[in-house]
Amino acid sequence: MLIQSIHPPSTPPSSGDSALMAASRELEAQFLSEMLKAASLGDAPEGFGGGAGEEQFSSFLRMEQARAITQSGGIGLAETIFHALKERQDG
């Protein structure tokens, strides 16, 4: 399932802002991962019985899914975070 962003991508940040944008994208991915967890995405069916290891690896899967969503445009949170941090950095 491919999720399309409802926000058009903005112009890419300058090279000096790329680290700030990467951090913003990672924060968006962390947020999305928690939302996917709350939605019970990746939970194993009761009969599977993988134990604690299964729970640990499902969190890795959710995080990678969240990163994929963010890299394909996300929900616009990374851009909002970036602009807020940039404004604060610039004073």
Is 72 inside any structural domain? yes
In angstroms, the CA 63 to CA 57 distance is 10
Q: Per residue in 65-79, pLDDT tens?
A: 999 999 999 999 999
Q: Per residue in 23-81, pLDDT tens?
A: 999 999 999 999 999 998 766 666 566 677 777 788 888 999 999 999 999 999 999 99
DSSP state of 2: P
Is 8 inside any structural domain? no
In angstroms, the CA 5 to CA 7 distance is 5
DSSP state of 7: S
Query: What pLDDT, on a 0 to 100 scale, did the predictor assign at position 2?
Result: 45
Tally the domains of the chain.
Answer: 1
| pLDDT category of residue 10 using cuts at 50, 70 and 90 | low
Evaluate whether 77 touches 28 at the Cβ level (below 8 Å). Answer: yes
Structural domain including 76 reads 17-38+51-90
Is 33 inside any structural domain? yes
